[in-house]
Structure 1
């Protein structure tokens, strides 16, 4: 049993970088919430950002999409371009490795899905791979996706939709959710915790084993952080 319980809180002064992937990105009103935070574009995301009049600080990847676009000539003069041709990792993983080298651990991710389906599924695999060594938060369609490896509690609001998706299996006990779990197992392909609902304004999820993805309403411009009680 994982006995340590962490308080899941949200802070607006810990984001090290915003990482944009080459899929559906949020509108300019979201980017305007963040001032002075480095923006990393994974390959073709740089073009999508430029079309929003947003200049990334770094453009990273094998650059096949970036270099095939005429706008790349202009962006080369505005952003630091980091060409990594090897094909053992995709542009998302290349970008996360770049963050690690910069000692950036708190990363807000835009554009995780909305492109080619297999890219989306592979991106979730990369989230699983890196989430034990980095604090990653996915933003999409007004929601947060947060990888969780420990027992947690957090403040919410009544009737907020809370989803718990196992990666790939998690044994849980919950308090404060409409459909509670009592030392029960969620398993990918068998049973998920999709679209549960907060009954009160304080939720506790005790993780006995495994790991999962927690989905909730976004807290922009704040990012999740796990703190020992």
Structure 2
């Protein structure tokens, strides 16, 4: 059993960077929450931002999409362009490596899915690869997806929908949900924990082994942080 228990809270002014992937981005109003925070665009995401009249601070990737667009010449003069042509990693992984080397820890990710399904599934794999070295949170459709690999306590909204998606398997016990789990196993391809409901002022999810993605309502502009209790 994992004995570490963390309090999950949400704080202002701690996001180190917004990472935009080349899929479906949130509306322009989303970016108004995050003035003076570096924006990293993975390759073609730079043009989606341009459509909002927004210029990222960094454009990173193999740049196959970027270099084929005539707007790239203008963007080169207004953003730092980092060309990494190797094909062992995709643009998401290149961007996370860049953030890691910049010593940016708290990364809010948008554009995680949309378009080709294989890209979304690959993004999920990369998220799992980096979630223990960076504090990552995905924002999509007014929800947060947060990688969890310790026992946690947090305060939900009233009747908030709580989903627990194993990565790829997890054993846990919950307190404060409508449909409780008691030392039960969730596993991709066998059993998931989709759309449970918070019925208490505090939720506790005791992790026995494994890890999972926690899906909850967003707390913009606040970002999830973990404080060790014991």
1:108 corresponds in structure 2 to 108
The CA deviation string for residues 34-66 of structure 1, in whole angstroms up to 9 with x for no partner, is: 111000000000000011111100000000001
Structure 2 unaligned regions, length at least 5: none
Q: Tell me which stretches of 4 or more aligned residues in structure 1 moved more than 6 Å.
A: none
| d(CA) in 2 for partners of 1:40, 1:8 | 26
TM-score computed with the length of structure 2 as normaliser:
0.99
1:120 corresponds in structure 2 to 120
1:20 corresponds in structure 2 to 20
2:227 corresponds in structure 1 to 227
Whether the 8 Å CA contact 1:153–1:202 is kept in 2: the answer is yes
Whether the 8 Å CA contact 1:157–1:202 is kept in 2: the answer is no
* 2:146 matches 1:179: no
Cα drift, residue 158 of structure 1: 2.1
Cα drift, residue 201 of structure 1: 2.1
The CA deviation string for residues 182-209 of structure 1, in whole angstroms up to 9 with x for no partner, is: 0000011100000000011210000000
Cα drift, residue 70 of structure 1: 1.2
Structure 1 unaligned regions, length at least 5: none
Cα drift, residue 12 of structure 1: 1.3
TM-score computed with the length of structure 1 as normaliser:
0.99
Aligned residues: 229
| d(CA) in 2 for partners of 1:42, 1:224 | 23
* 2:207 matches 1:214: no
| Aligned residue runs from structure 1 range 35-74, under 5 A | 35-74=35-74
CA RMSD between the two structures: 0.6
